[in-house]
Structure 1
């Protein structure tokens, strides 16, 4: 199945073969692929070559490893368009998935100086800080840390954060969210977040900070989200 005379490296050829098997449905979601030893024998290559192919497919999100058990076909990544301003709950519902969350903490405090500046607060003004694990169909997708000015949502309570914060903010039509700015970068996951997201260290994650604004350009929320890079990807349409 491999062309050892080809300038294409062996690990790339194996990677392409496995990828085609997955895309054609020969391996289905949740099914184990052959072990490294079996693939080594099948392709008559070194174990290191096979391991590199599998690692690349794991990093691409097509496969995932379970320690001591094997390597399995992963559920396809969720595609999140970068255009449009929606909450995590709204995103998941639009895909027919069941959104849920687990509250880690909910408190009121004086924010750090960078949060204070981005929310345009005075030194003594407080924020609500909401830290949640966000799930889709009961699988952890992201850690979300939200900061909201107390003066704008003074009645925020524990039961209000079970669903979409956007829905709570806009429920009485007094506050309407109109736009947001967003920053994104790839980082290595922190130990605490790795435990929450059920991923191994070191793993790459997507760190996204979004600042949402009301119609009068007043910032209403900063949310810093750490997304599993093996379950999520962001797409955008660019026009000339």
Structure 2
């Protein structure tokens, strides 16, 4: 029950109760929460207090609202460690999830200056531009644009992009991937991301720019991704 004599705010007590139900699996992703009226009646508290608790849960990504329908439990976020260089396909497989792609476009372009610098090529070198939605168990997780020199990997096809590119580079081409660097920023979605990630205007995203290199130092790829912040978060283990 809610302890009205506790110094802990009532809205916070309700918020923690709902969080516990979600964390312990009593409420599953996609389940609809009781209405504000039902919570208010159950705990003999005001609907304004219930609304404050639910709004905090929405802001923290535990639940989401559907206008005219109700409030639902969000899908759990995927924790992505920042140690080690892995592909999206490898990440999802390690979590027992099925990674798939929805190809938006795949073409060869004359690279802009930012791409030539990242790949250490001249402007006359043709470059693959690959844009796709990355999905985990059928749910859109990220919108990703990849740039790779056609001279470095000449035989990329749409069929090939259905598998892990890292696996193809290492196991089929015999090229060893060495290291990568990532820059992570926060932003809100643009119209392209709204369309392909199935999110609402104003939703948060994590912008990630990755530079990946072969073992000999040759730039392999430049990847620019927009990850759904309600489905993905990054984790790092730090030692003093």
Task: Give TM-score scaled by structure 2 length.
Answer: 0.91
**What is aligned with 2:196?**
196
Q: Is there any run of 5+ residues in structure 1 with no aligned partner, and where?
A: none
**What is aligned with 1:228?**
228
Of the structure 1 ranges 151-160 and 181-190, higher mean CA displacement relative to structure 2 is found in: 151-160
| Matches of 1:228 and 1:116, distance apart in 2 | 28
Of the structure 1 ranges 56-65 and 191-200, higher mean CA displacement relative to structure 2 is found in: 56-65
**What is aligned with 1:176?**
176
Q: For residues 173-225 of structure 1, what are the alpha-carbon distances to aligned partners after superposition, in whole Å with 9 as ceiling and x for unaligned? A: 44221100001111101122122111111111111111100111111101111
- Offset, 1:93: 1.2
| Matches of 1:74 and 1:47, distance apart in 2 | 22
Of the structure 1 ranges 192-201 and 47-56, higher mean CA displacement relative to structure 2 is found in: 47-56
**What is aligned with 1:210?**
210
**What is aligned with 1:107?**
107
| Matches of 1:161 and 1:20, distance apart in 2 | 40
Secondary structure (helix, strand or coil) at the match of 2:159 reads helix
**What is aligned with 1:135?**
135
Of the structure 1 ranges 170-179 and 188-197, higher mean CA displacement relative to structure 2 is found in: 170-179
Of the structure 1 ranges 88-97 and 27-36, higher mean CA displacement relative to structure 2 is found in: 27-36
Q: Is the 8 A contact 1:59 1:230 kept in 2?
A: no
Secondary structure (helix, strand or coil) at the match of 1:107 reads strand
| Matches of 1:154 and 1:29, distance apart in 2 | 43
**What is aligned with 1:167?**
167
Q: Is the 8 A contact 1:107 1:129 kept in 2?
A: yes
Q: Is the 8 A contact 2:32 2:73 kept in 1?
A: yes
**What is aligned with 2:68?**
68
Query: In structure 2, do the counterparts of structure 1 residues 123 and 18 end up closer, same or farther at CA, with 3 Å as the change threshold?
Result: same
- Offset, 1:91: 1.0
Q: Is residue 2:21 matched to residue 1:11?
A: no
Of the structure 1 ranges 15-24 and 187-196, higher mean CA displacement relative to structure 2 is found in: 15-24
Q: Is there any run of 5+ residues in structure 2 with no aligned partner, and where?
A: none
Q: Is the 8 A contact 1:205 1:229 kept in 2?
A: yes
**What is aligned with 1:57?**
57
**What is aligned with 2:84?**
84
- Offset, 1:107: 0.9
Secondary structure (helix, strand or coil) at the match of 1:158 reads coil
Q: Cα RMSD over matched residues?
A: 2.0
Secondary structure (helix, strand or coil) at the match of 2:147 reads strand
Q: Is residue 2:26 matched to residue 1:26?
A: yes
Q: Is the 8 A contact 1:213 1:220 kept in 2?
A: yes
Of the structure 1 ranges 217-226 and 54-63, higher mean CA displacement relative to structure 2 is found in: 54-63
Of the structure 1 ranges 17-26 and 226-235, higher mean CA displacement relative to structure 2 is found in: 17-26
- Offset, 1:145: 0.8
